[in-house]
Amino acid sequence: MTGEAHTDSSLRQLSYAEAIREAMDIALAADERVILMGEDIGVYGGAFQVTGDLVHKYGEDRVMDTPISELGGAGVAVGAAMTGLRPVFEFQFSDFAALAMEQIVNQAAKVRFMLGGAASVPVVMRFPAGSGTGAAAQHSQSLEAWFGHVPGLKVVQPSTPEDAKGLLLAAIEDPDPVMIFEHKILYKMKGTVPDGHYTTPIGTAAVRRSGADLTIVATSLMVHKALEAAATLADEAVDAEVIDLRTVRPMDRDTVLASVRKTGRLLCVYEGVKTLGVGAEVSAMVAESDAFDFLDAPIVRLGGAESPIPYNPELEKAVVPQVPDILNAARQLAGGTV
């Protein structure tokens, strides 16, 4: 993949999965301490073909297949990170984080603190997340809010190939444990990706579309649905601003509040279960701030239904926000009927 020639790198298109692989390739080449760990990431190439053929370039010692041992594997990555390596650990599905919560929450997140700063855990964990693939209840969840609740972790959700690469490189260079939630539907999405090494700062949101009438704060795949809705709304003279949160922890307070002060209306769109989810935190952050005074309508949240993800495709769509849901909510907000 690095052999491809690009006459104009500014127009180079990669898929989200290719962008992640390129980031890992760059990190592996640049830093001997970087290793990849995970189930079937070697010759198989990863369940979603994200690691691809990296094992052939860097060998099995640096692109390590682990047994199906999420707890142990995550713990090995934590111990290796504490003692000099920079492991990037791939979970096959984000749902399997449940098997490894002990090592992530009790160990990785707390070691630096418990030891008074005497050690750090520069580990990266990658979680293929989200619904839309028909994988049903145990392979489709969006669990980023679980980790957002844990001080000591950083949690990011790239929505574009460019950010998938930039955030992963930033995560590998970060001294603290970073959890990356990659939406499975986005793996095949193409987008412009700069050449070579660059980082996207953790903790900064991106304004994907500027607007005056209402602020839509969205994460991951929902950013794209929000942008699609915003294009339709523009035809109806509703000018929506779309913010891609990008990082769940630490959250970019300034960007969100500035937008709400401008528009006076807030719509949060996220795929995780609505109750106690990322949008709940965004809403509370606005309600607790001076931006509250600028609200000219109640805050509206669109999140996942209070349900596991169903198998039937129609049901599956019904339990996470879709473009018509966003349009409906935005129209009501902008029209003053909420």
Partner 1 sequence: MPTEVILPKVDMDMATGSIASWHVAEGEEVAKGQPLFDIETDKAAMEVESPASGRLHHVSVEVGSEVPIGTTLAWIYADGEDVGPPPEHATSAVTDDHVVSSDAGAPRAVLVDQSAKASELQGNSSSAKQRATPAARKLATQSHVDLADVTGSGPRARVQRADVERLLDVPAPDAIAVPALPWSTQQGDLSVLSSGSGEAAPWVLIHGFAADASGWSAVEKQLRMSAAVHRIELPNHGRSPRRKVADFRDLVSQMRQAFDGLGDQPVRLVGHSLGAAVSLALADTRPRRIESLTLISPAGLGPEINGVVLAGIARASRPESLGPWLKQLTGDPDVVTPNYVQAAARQRPDGQGRAAQASMMDALFPDGVQAFDLHAALSRLECPTRIIWGRRDAIVPWKHALRAPGQVALHLFDDVGHLPHVEIPEQVCALMML
Partner 2 sequence: MADALHQPLQPKNGQENEPFAIRSYTPQQLKDALRKMYLIRRFEEGAEDSYMRGLIHGTMHLSIGQEASAVGACMALTDNDKITSTHRGHGHCVAKGADVSKMFAEFFGKESGYCKGRGGSMHIADVEKGNLGANGIVGGGLPIAVGAALSAKRLKTGAVTVCFFGDGANNEGAFHEALNMAAIWKLPVVFVCENNQYGMSTSTERSTAVTSIADRALAYAMPGSTVDGNDFSAVAEAVDTAVSRARDGQGPSLIESMTYRWRGHSKSDRNRYRTKDEISVWMKRDPIGRMAKLLRDHKIMSEDDIAALETEVEAEIAEAIKKARSGPDPLVSDATKYVYADAAA
Interface mask toward partner 1 for 96-115; x: CB under 8 A: --------------------
Q: Which of 43, 296, 313, 315 binds partner 1 (CB under 8 A)?
A: 296
297 binds partner 1 (CB under 8 A): yes
Q: How far is the CB of 153 from partner 2 (least distance, A)?
A: 9
Q: How far is the CB of 293 from partner 1 (least distance, A)?
A: 4
Closer residue to partner 1, CB minimum distance, 38 or 152: 152
Query: Which 248-267 positions form the footprint of partner 2 (CB under 8 A)?
Result: 250
Closer residue to partner 2, CB minimum distance, 87 or 148: 87
Which residues contact residue 298 at a Cβ distance below 8 angstroms, ignoring those fewer than 6 apart?
Answer: 338
Q: Quick check: bond before 175 cis, omega within 30?
A: no
337 binds partner 1 (CB under 8 A): yes
**How many residues bind to partner 1 according to rule CB under 8 A?**
15
Q: How far apart are CA 148 and CA 277, in angstroms?
A: 9
Q: How far is the CB of 65 from partner 2 (least distance, A)?
A: 10
Query: Which 188-227 positions form the footprint of partner 2 (CB under 8 A)?
Result: 203
- Positions marked active-site: 70, 139
203 binds partner 1 (CB under 8 A): no
Which of partner 2, partner 1, none does 296 bind, CB closer than 5 to 8 A by kind?
partner 1
Q: How far is the CB of 169 from partner 2 (least distance, A)?
A: 17
Closer residue to partner 1, CB minimum distance, 12 or 262: 262
Q: How far is the CB of 175 from partner 2 (least distance, A)?
A: 4
Residues that bind partner 1 (CB under 8 A): 264, 285, 287-290, 292-297, 336-338
Residues that bind partner 2 (CB under 8 A): 33, 35, 61, 64, 66-67, 69, 71-85, 87, 102-103, 106-107, 111-120, 151-152, 154, 174-176, 203, 250
